[in-house]
Amino acid sequence: MESIGVVVNPIAGMGGRVGLKGTDGKLEEARRRGAEPRAPERARVALRSLHRRAPAITVYTAAGVMGERAARDAGYEPTVVYDPATVREDDAADPARPGDPANAETTAADTRRAVRALLEHDVELILFVGGDGTAVDVADVLEDATTAEAEGGAATPRDAAETPMLGVPAGVKIYSSVFGVTPADAGRIAAEFDRVEPREVNDIDEDAYREGKVQTELRAIVPVPVAPDLQSGKQVSSGSVDSLATGFAREVEPGRTYVFGPGSTVGAIEAELGIDASPLGVDVWRAGEDDTDAADQRGEILARDAAESDILEVLEDPVTIVVSPIGGQGFLFGRGNHQISPPVIRQADEIAVVASDEKLDGIDSLHVDTDDEDLDEQLRGWLQVRTGRFTTRMVPVS
């Protein structure tokens, strides 16, 4: 491969740690809660991984935080083909640095314009940084460009339908199967792939998601590089977790603090404990000091649907984090539970992983992607997963 197009959604994933479960339509609220951008750093990790393997590749990208800065930090001298500041009359740039796209608000329209510009330069791959919403934007442009050509519109040097796309995971919820497992994986795949296959772009209704409802929609089928380190699409798992929940609830340790991750499996445990759980949020609960089975005496809820800051504020040793892998994907951390951040994980002395046998049957290995490479390395290895009241399975974390 001789050329690659790079586009970064700089606000992707900002809503995760502050408990917003997404950033679509919630950017100002995320900022008010103290959210920090994560996509630019994940773009740098991916492009450094690419540069180690393909330092001579030609990189086309958008200005500033939409790709240029990450590419330069990785060692490339990119060609900028789109600048959001040039198409916006009300550019909110810092007067001290006029025209600096890092200070301009970027939108989905900017992502789409950038991808169109990249296609005009005959790039051989679109490497994008974002979540499912960004994947939809990229896929829509590829489809629109192909339709325009078929209808006699402006042609791109390469058939847009044949241009593969690959995602660097940076969003809060990532259900599509077009992403590398980690940013470094995405960079390596971009450098080394030699064929593509059709994969799904899915998206969810974020407002419904915030209400605890997962409503997914297939948005496109697109060509994606073939590689073992691509994440799978999320699958709805089956299998009873009643005995698992009963067994876990009977073994809670008096006085211990439990951080319960999102999902129905963990939710079944919370229900067994009498906790009014947030369906897709993170809850913090402390077990009572006595051993009575009365639900109102077994413990107290310390934080419900908590952001990272809420969790850290109420944590008190000893701490157990309870999570269940995402069906089909196997992620324990880094997808849909960013509130359980590296500082939270490091404060825990125990991580309890729970899943039905049926869910584990669809997962080859578990994954972690916490934004902290040292922590990810510490979490890798073999992990005991509770599957029933008395049963466990050993599963690798890769």
Q: What is the 3-state secondary structure (H, E, C) of 17-35?
A: CCCCCCCCCCHHHHHHCCC
Whether pLDDT at 218 is above 80: yes
pLDDT of residue 296: 47
Question: Which residue's entry shows tokens 């915030």?
Answer: 210
- Calpha distance 157→256 (Å, rounded): 62
Whether pLDDT at 92 is above 80: no
User: Cα dihedral angle (179, 183, 187, 190), rounded to 10 degrees?
Assistant: 0
pLDDT of residue 101: 39
* Model confidence pLDDT, tens digit, residues 31-43: 777 667 889 999 9
* Model confidence pLDDT, tens digit, residues 153-166: 555 555 666 899 99
The answer to whether 186 and 166 have CB atoms below 8 angstroms apart is yes
Average pLDDT, the chain: 85
* Model confidence pLDDT, tens digit, residues 275-294: 998 878 999 999 998 655 54
pLDDT of residue 99: 42
Q: What is the mean pLDDT of residues 18-37?
A: 65
Of the candidate ranges 93-107, 172-186, 316-330, 345-359, the one whose mean pLDDT is the lowest? 93-107
